[in-house]
Every structure is written in C-alpha cells, then in structure tokens.
Amino acid sequence: MNKTFTYKNYSLKFNLTVWYMIILFLVLIIFSSILYFYLEDQLKEEVYNLLEIEITKIKADFINDDKILNNTGDQNIKAFFYNNQGELLNDNSKEGLINNIISADYNEKFTIKEYKDQKWALLTEAYNLDNSKSSASNGYITLLYSFNKEDKMLDKLIIILIFMIPLTLLFASGGGYFLARQALKAIDIISSTAEKISQNNLSQRIDIPESREDEIGRLGKTLNNLLDRLETSFFRQKQFNADVSHELKTPISVIRAQVEEALDSDQKLTSEQKDILTTIKKQIDQLNNLISQMLILAKADEKNFTLEKEKFDLEIVIDTVIEEMNNLAAEKNILITKKIIGENNFRIKADLSLITQLLLNLVDNAIKYTPNEGKIKITLKNLDNYYEINILDNGIGIPKKDLNNIFKRFYRVDKSRSRDYGGTGLGLSICSWIVKVHGGEINVESSLRNGTKFRVMLPKK
C-alpha cells in the first residue's frame, strides 16, 4: 500500500520553511509584476513627454510656408506631415513603416505599436497655420519614436528578476530554516528531557534560561513547575507505601504467630474453628507476601539504591530454590527438574538476596499456574558473558495480548483467578526490576493452554 505523504509527515521546521518560501515567492512575484508594469508606464510617460516637447518645437518652427521639416532635433524621432486629405507632405520613411504603423485616425493621439519585432511610439496632433500661404496650412503632424531602447530596458529587468527571485528564495530558505531551527530548539530540548523522565527519574528539568520570557520560556517554566509537583507527589506516595509496609510487618507477624499457636495448641477446636483459623492464616500469608514485595519495590524506588554484589555459584542458588519450593509443588504433584547446559562453572557476581528472590518469584509463578501433576523445568546455560536461565512449565499459559503488560506493577491477566492463586500482580514486576538493575534481560514466550517460558539473561559480573 502506498503511503500518503502530507505536511504531518515532515518536521515542523521543514513545514515552516516551506510555508515561508511559498509566501515569499508569491510576494516576490506580485512585487516584480508591479515593478515591471510601473516601470513600463513610467517609460511610456517619459516618451510621451519627450514627443510633446518635440512637437511643440516643430509647430513653433513651422511658420515658413515653403519649409517642411524632414528631420527633428532628435535622430530617434521621425516627423510626418499630413494635410487634411491625409496626403503625406514629406518623404521621411519607408513606405512599409508608414502604411503599417501610422494610422489614418487623427484622433489617436498617443499609442505604442509593433512592426517587425520592434515597438514604436506615435504622437499625433493637428496644426493650423492661419497666416500661412501654403496648401499645407492645415493638417496633422505624427511623430514616430523607436521604443527599442526602453523595450530592451524592460527585457533586462525581466532577466534580472528571473535570476534574482530563485537566488533570493535560496538564501531566504536557508535563513528561514536556520531561524526556525533556532526558534524550535527549545521544543527539542523539552522533548528530549521528557523522554528521560520516568517515575524513577523525576529529577530531570527542562533547561530554560530564567531570563527567557517568551512563549517557549513560559512553557518550559510551567512544565518544570508541573514536574516539581509530580516529584513531590511521587515521593510522598513512595514514602507512604514504604512506611505502611514497615508498620504492618510487625502486627501481621504477631497475628500469624497467634493463629499458628492456636492451631498447634492442645485446645480442642471444632472443625469449623480450624477451617476459619486456616483461612485466616492463608490470608495473612498472602498479605505478608504482599508487604514483602512492596518493601522490595520501595527499595527499587530509592534514588541511591546500590546492589550488594558478591560472588556465588548460581547453580547452588537454583538448587536451594528448588528444594524450598518442592513442598509447595508437592501439594499439586508438580515435578520440578533442572538441566545444566555447557560448563559447570556458574560463578556470578551479583546481589545474592535479589537473585534468590528473582528465582523464587518465577518458580512460584510457575507453580501457581501449572495444573496438578504438571511439570516445571529449569535450565541453566553458560554463555560467553552471560548466564541464561529458562523456566518452562506446561501450565495454562498467558494470552498474547497480555504478554506486553505482565511486567507492570499490579497487572494481572485474570484478576479473579489471580486472587484464587494468591497472586498480587507484583511478583513479575519485581523480577523485571531485579534483572534490569543487574544489567540483564528478561522476556517471556507463552500462549493459552501451551505453557509458559521465562528466559533470563544475567551478566557474569
């Protein structure tokens, strides 16, 4: 399919320059046309005034009846004398020029005519010599002036305009683009700054001089004030989440201990009471898990967070996680297996507690969404600069439309189903943060009823 190009496909600088060029081109065309026609009119007026002066002189000198002037004082002007019957009284030009240029219309006072690619100016006036004895005492005089010099001047003007208009447009386009770029430079700064801003990096501000008071300056300052308010609001929210999580940790632990003590005591409890206490304990465990995850996220939101890196064997950590999660998997008769690919040396320099949490979350997620008697396979592969961990299950899978969202906080594919499994929507978000803070990569492949595969790439150092 051919793509339709409109002004929206191009940058604002380009569009402004094009519109500026179009307007300037129209202005230059209009100005050039006005200049040309004005100059042409002025030249005609000058020629007319010249012929008026010359014909006045001729009439003043035309007193002697026997003297018919064949030439004027100006070599470019030719004089023709006619009687009232239209007969030429002097022989001053070629017959073709007279027949094709000079009109028999005595009322045609001043006009411009063309003959053999040359323009001629004509001025006709009647004369009446009452004191003359000649038969030519009454008639009219026609002066013929070659408009060639003036015509060449107009042609040169056209040539100059033809060259100057494109040259002017060329220089104007460069200047226009430069000015547009300078004017919109602040917009580019605002855009690049906005791209750097995220919920974990709200300290970025638009670099706008305080002295700038134009529209761009006011826009930049308004956005900076907005960012100040957002940063304050986000900080208060994060601080609240962290404080609440810390404050809830102790009372929930106490409640859980009391419930466990009641269940383990020698007091006789009815089956209904045991079911209630078991349900309470289960909900407390979910709440405790949620608080633990929120504390991890609070740590992730800290600006000055640093990894506590140490060297350890990644295979041993995987074995520990499998051993810890086997009890939970046994409740659903799920088999967890491990496969090593490549060299057996899996020494890594990373944050041990976070890597352990990463693996626990991924395995726990696989157990939750794998049906009874399912299988979970963990593979560990030694690459050049990375360790590749794959966690595969034959569970219910994830719809393709949700794959791009599962690493977002509190996102759950099926909220009701997630609650049944004890999901909070934070586990995978924490996994994504742990991998990224280590400089690694995590992705997922899944489809409904075909299981899920999480692939984690962790740098060795």
CATH code of 119's domain: 3.30.450
Q: Are residues 258 and 325 in the same domain?
A: no
Q: For 297, how many CA atoms within 13 A lie in the half-sphere containing its CB?
A: 28
Look at residue 5 and tell me if it is in a domain: no
Q: Are 202 and 234 in contact (CB under 8 A)?
A: yes
Calculate the CA 142 to chain-centre distance: 71
For residue 325, the enclosing domain spans: 309-459
Q: What's residue 104's pLDDT? A: 53
Residue 370's SS3 state is coil
pLDDT of residue 400: 85
List helix spans (H) across 306-351: 314-330
Are 330 and 438 members of one domain? Answer: yes
Which pLDDT score is estimated for 455?
95
Residues 245 and 328 in one domain: no
CA-CA distance, 146 to 113, in Å (whole number)?
Answer: 10
SS3 content of the chain, % helix, strand, coil (to 5): 55, 20, 30
Distance CA 383, CA 345 (A): 11
* Number of domain units in the chain: 3
Residue 375 phi/psi, 5-degree rounding, is: -135, 140
pLDDT at 334: 92
pLDDT digits (tens, 9 = 90+) for 149-180: 888 898 899 999 999 989 988 888 888 888 87
Domain end among 260, 278, 300: 300
Same domain, 323 and 287: no
- The CATH number linked to 372 is 3.30.565.10
Question: Same domain, yes or no, for 401 and 274?
Answer: no
**For the chain, how big is the Rg over CA atoms in Å?**
49
Same domain, 276 and 327: no
Q: What angle (nearest 5°) sits at the alpha carbon of residue 321, between those of residues 317 and 327?
A: 155
CB of 277 closer than 8 Å to CB of 262: yes
**Are 324 and 274 found together in one domain?**
no
pTM: 0.53
Q: What is the pLDDT of residue 174?
A: 86
Cα gap 340→381, rounded to integer Å: 6
Written as one letter, the residue type at 106 is: Y
Helix (H, G, I), strand (E, B) or coil at 7: helix
8 Å CB contact between 81 and 89: yes
Angle at 22 between CA 21 and CA 24, to 5 degrees: 65
> Which segments of the chain have a pLDDT < 70?
1-9, 61-75, 90-108, 129-137, 198-200, 238, 240-246, 266, 300-304, 414-424
Q: Is 179 a member of any domain?
A: no
Residue 184 lies in a domain: no
356 and 335 assigned to the same domain = yes
239 and 134 within one domain: no
Report the relative pairing of strands 119-128 and 110-114 from DSSP bridges. antiparallel
Q: Tens digits of per-residue pLDDT, 261-318?
A: 887 776 777 888 888 888 888 788 777 777 777 777 777 666 667 888 899 999 999 9
Angle formed at CA 104 by CA 98 and CA 109, multiple of 5 degrees: 95
